[in-house]
């Protein structure tokens, strides 16, 4: 499986450690608050300090969890979606979720339509020539994301990467043949389920 130096294993360990530190800080804060009638204002100040530190730990846990999900996402996108690791299983489930797939399909539809007219507020800056050339493949991919009852999580991860990796994605950088080739590869992976 994965060794102790693997980024996913390190991210899991870091999240676990931060959760434990958060729990200890919360317990300490409550204990200090309960002891404040007996120990005076010093215990109350300790309780308030523990609450502040617990808030910082909560933020750190959120960041660590986001990092853990990203590592699991990278494993799935690279073809290791069947790993029996809880983080990978959770991310695989999220990627296969119909609601998430509908959101991706809607994003593809917006990108396809906005090659002609782009709203001033839109963050989408796809390469127009590539999108126009690959419009049939983009529409097919959108349809598959909406209609297929079961898909491979890797295919959904590849669609997500195509949309969000602006600096390296052929959707934003072109050229059209490269985008069409990537869409064909994604389609193949998506329907393998």
Q: Which of 149, 165, 8 lies closest to 73 in space, CA to CA?
A: 8
Start-end of H helices in 40-85: 41-77
Rounded Cα gap, residues 43 and 165, in angstroms: 50
Residues of the chain with pLDDT > 70, as a percent, come to: 93
pLDDT mean across residues, the chain: 88
What residues contact 7, with CB distance under 8 A and at least 6 apart? 71, 74
9 or 167, higher pLDDT: 9
What residues contact 184, with CB distance under 8 A and at least 6 apart? 137
pLDDT band at 156 (very low <50, low <70, confident <90, very high): very high
* Domain residue limits, the chain: 7-91, 97-191
List, for residues 107-118, the tens digit of each pLDDT value. 999 888 875 555
pLDDT band at 174 (very low <50, low <70, confident <90, very high): confident
Rounded Cα gap, residues 35 and 140, in angstroms: 64
pLDDT at 193 exceeding the cut of 90: no
pLDDT at 119 exceeding the cut of 60: no
List, for residues 71-105, the tens digit of each pLDDT value. 999 999 998 888 888 999 999 999 999 999 999 99
The H or E element spanning position 146 is helix 135-147
Residue 2: the pLDDT is 75
The residue behind tokens 């990978």 is 88
What residues contact 155, with CB distance under 8 A and at least 6 apart? 186, 187, 189, 190, 191, 192, 193
The residue behind tokens 């959707």 is 171
Rounded Cα gap, residues 112 and 178, in angstroms: 17
Rounded Cα gap, residues 140 and 146, in angstroms: 10
pLDDT at 22 exceeding the cut of 90: yes
Residue 55: the pLDDT is 95
Rounded Cα gap, residues 76 and 157, in angstroms: 7
Task: Give the CA radius of gyration of the chain.
Answer: 23
Contact between 38 and 13 under an 8 Å Cβ cutoff? The reply is: no
Rounded Cα gap, residues 164 and 34, in angstroms: 48
> Highest mean pLDDT range out of 42-46, 127-131, 183-187, 188-192?
183-187
List, for residues 28-38, the tens digit of each pLDDT value. 999 988 888 88
Residue 115: the pLDDT is 56
């Amino acid at each position: 499986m994965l060794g102790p130096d693997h980024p996913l294993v390190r991210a899991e360990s870091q999240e676990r450690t931060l959760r434990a530190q958060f729990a200890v800080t919360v317990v300490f804060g409550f204990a200090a608050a309960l002891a404040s009638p007996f120990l005076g204002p010093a215990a109350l100040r300790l309780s308030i300090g523990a609450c502040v530190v617990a808030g910082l730990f909560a933020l750190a846990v959120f960041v660590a969890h986001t990092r853990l999900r990203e590592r699991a996402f990278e494993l799935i996108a690279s073809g290791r979606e069947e790993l029996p690791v809880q983080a990978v299983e959770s991310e695989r489930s999220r990627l296969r979720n119909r609601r998430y797939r509908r959101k991706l399909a809607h994003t593809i539809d917006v990108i396809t339509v906005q090659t002609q007219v782009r709203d001033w507020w839109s963050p989408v800056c796809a390469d127009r020539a590539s999108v126009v050339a690959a419009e049939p493949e983009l529409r097919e991919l959108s349809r598959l994301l909406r209609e297929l009852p079961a898909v491979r999580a890797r295919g959904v991860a590849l669609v997500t990467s195509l949309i969000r990796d602006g600096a390296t994605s052929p959707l934003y950088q072109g050229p059209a043949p490269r985008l069409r080739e990537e869409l064909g590869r994604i389609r193949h992976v998506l329907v393998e389920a």
